Amino acid sequence: MSGGSYNYLHRLVTEAAKTLNDLHQPLYRRAFAKHLFKIASALHDIEWVDSSDMGDGDDKEAIMNCISTQDVLKEAIANAEYAKENLEEILDEAMQEFEGK
């Protein structure tokens, strides 16, 4: 399968970045454009991985250029907290069922 799993979204983001990177744009927009170029690169690699044009994990470097390891850690913690809440709920239900028998 070749590309297109996200309708080539990276191209739209690249075009937006190019527009915002124009010398007539304010500095804060041009700085934001630099970030958008990184995001476009990550979107490209994600799309290619999901379309099997690149291997699993080949998108990690481009993604990590956009986010920090702290962002990944926060996501892991949020997922663990969610799993813990669900596990506690399931265990409570199981205990109630067990005690009811």
Q: CA angle, corner 100, sides to 98 and 101, nearest 5?
A: 70
Q: Do 42 and 72 fall into the same domain? A: no
Q: Which domain holds residue 78?
A: 68-101
Tokens (6 digits) for 100:
């009811």
Residue 3: per-residue pLDDT? 65
pLDDT in tens, 82-100: 999 999 989 988 988 888 7
**If you search the block for the tokens 């920090």, which residue do you land on?**
68
Into how many domains does the chain fold? Answer: 2
Strands, DSSP E only, in the chain?
none
Distance CA(38)–CA(78), nearest Å, equals 25
Mean per-residue pLDDT over the chain, rounded:
94
Tokens (6 digits) for 91:
């265990």
**Pick from 27, 25, 67: nearest CA to 43:** 67
Q: Do 56 and 86 fall into the same domain? A: no
